[in-house]
Amino acid sequence: MAADPVADVLAIAAHRDDVEQTCGGTLLRMASRGLHTAILDLTKGEAGTRGSAEDRAKEATAAAKLLGVRWRQALDLPDGAVENTLENRLKIAQIVRLLRPRVVILPYWQARHPDHAIVATLGYEACFLAGLSKAPSGQIVLSGAPHRPFKIVYASLYADVRPSFVVDITPFIDQRHNALMAYRSQYANQAAGSGLFVAEEEIRERTFAEARHYGLLAGVRYGEPFVQKEIGLVDDLTLLPVQSI
């Protein structure tokens, strides 16, 4: 991956393959605009039913290539037991300082998987911490210049919530699917955990149907949903997208 890891957009997620499912199309769209994108996975997937952490590392690298991201790493937070501790906030803040993103994508704060919900607040607080010159203890424990992202948005695909906006991923839907399918240990048809996992064709149907649903809400074919906490700001009413009537 690139020697200079500065990123315009950084997606932070609990597990390898979360980003592929929730905002992979958006990262592809940003890369197609010439922006630099990055992914920080917080765990290595050691608690997964299928495949080892090593398998998932290789798959994550392959998926990153397919998504056109310039930088991807995984921290060593415990899979299935991600906690919002100062130690974990500092680990993430150090990466935020390294990559200096303008935009950070986090998972939405209500989720079935506790790791996803925690990462919404853990990631937010880490972004705040990255902008402080001293840690709350008064010590300087982070290297690099302070940096706080301008914008934080929440990928809300897993959540039953009305999105603030949708990103049109129509040209990128197949490539996003290819990136998800790079996780062969998770998604290729196999015997291990077949009671827990759905077949490959079913995954395609589900993920395309979700993308179609959010696309329809925005008047495009395929979309990915996001929530932002801030209000929208408009310059020119005549340029507002998404038809009303």
Instruction: Give me the residues that bind Zn ion (CB under 5 A), please.
Output: 14-15, 18
What whole-number distance in Å separates Cα of residue 107 and Cα of residue 68? Answer: 20
Closer to Zn ion by CB, 186 or 218: give it.
Answer: 186
Given the complex with Zn ion, which of 81 and 140 has the nearer CB atom? 81
- Least Cβ distance, residue 200 to Zn ion (angstroms): 18
Minimum gap (Å) between residue 148 Cβ and Zn ion? 26
In the complex with Zn ion, the residue whose CB is nearer, 98 or 120, is: 120
Q: What is the DSSP string of the chain?
A: --SS---SEEEEESSTTHHHHHTHHHHHHHHHTT--EEEEEEE--TT-SSS-HHHHHHHHHHHHHHHT-SEEEEEEEPTT-----HHHHHHHHHHHHHH--SEEEEE-S--SSHHHHHHHHHHHHHHHHHT-SS-TTS-----S-----SEEEEE-TTS-S--SEEEE-GGGHHHHHHHHHT-HHHHS--STTTTTS--HHHHHHHHHHHHHHHHHHHTSSSEEEEE-SSPP--S-GGG--S---
Nearest residue (beta carbon) to Zn ion: 15
**Least gap, CB of 158 to Zn ion (angstroms):** 8
Indicate the residue among 98 and 203 with the shorter CB distance to Zn ion.
203
Smallest distance, Å, CB 115 to Zn ion?
Answer: 6
Closer of 14 and 211 to Zn ion (Cβ) = 14
CB of 232 to Zn ion, least distance (A): 28
**Considering the complex, what minimum distance in angstroms separates the CB of residue 6 from Zn ion?**
26
Of residues 14 and 130, the one with the C-beta less far from Zn ion: 14
